[in-house]
Amino acid sequence: MRRDHRPLWLIKAQDRLESGWAQHFLYPQFDYIGNGCHIAPPWRIRVSGSDISVGNYVHMRATKTQHIWLTTWKWDDTPPKIKIGDFCLLTPGVRISASKHIKIGRGSMIASNAYITDSDWHGTYDRTHEAGQAAPVTLGENVWVGDSAIVCKGVSIGDNSIIGAGSVVTHNIPANVIAAGAPAVPVKDLDPEVPRTTRMDLFSDPEDLAAKNEWLYGYVSQGNSLWGWIRAHLFPHKGS
């Protein structure tokens, strides 16, 4: 469908439904979840394992065919952890799997179908056991992991760095670079002196942001009606 035909009251009703669902069914699955998180739709988020925490104002966006998976798997006596910092963004198809520790820094963005793991999960010769093939992964603040990129075990990515789409990160990436390839290597330096606008800035005034979103919902839903929404689903035509 080329545009959203929902009337404003239906948009708000769906938001309330998703928020209520998240708080009742999804949030209890986390060891900690902060304030102001927006997870849509919450029934497309798969949480498996213990010690998974999410900071304040984290956004997760999944789709019917691309769920988001957050998984910890305990192989030994060390409890595995996933820690997602404040203001992060996770998009459809993201998978984060830990047997040791994965830490995502504040304001980081993980694009669709990216995979972050701290383990090989199976030994080279013993395919039934992890055999100690795990090492923690750390993403700094304001990191951007591109579409379908893979971040492998033992990797550290520095603040503000960007990982190109489809890249495979097998070694540490310094701060303030664009890295790409398989294996990923820095291909361009970013000027640390150039001012940045980050997701931390976006949420610096949550009340103002909420008011702007309210205005935007009202603007895009002008002229929408319940019948128009039903008609667009049952009898779509060119331009709908």
Looking at residue 61, what DSSP letter applies?
E
Catalytic residues: 101
Given a contact cutoff of 8 angstroms between Cβ atoms, the answer to whether 107 and 198 are in contact is yes
Where exactly are the structural domains of the chain? 1-30+205-240, 34-195
Residue 110 in tokens: 């993980």
Q: How far apart are CA 145 and CA 64, in angstroms?
A: 22
- Looking at the DSSP bridge assignments, the partners of residue 156 are 138
- Class of CATH domain 34-195: mainly beta
Instruction: Write the pLDDT tens digit of every residue in 197-208.
Output: 999 999 999 889
Instruction: Write the pLDDT tens digit of every residue in 216-238.
Output: 989 989 999 999 999 988 988 77
pLDDT for the residue 125: 82
Whether residue 45 has pLDDT greater than 90? yes
Region 152-170: mean pLDDT is 97
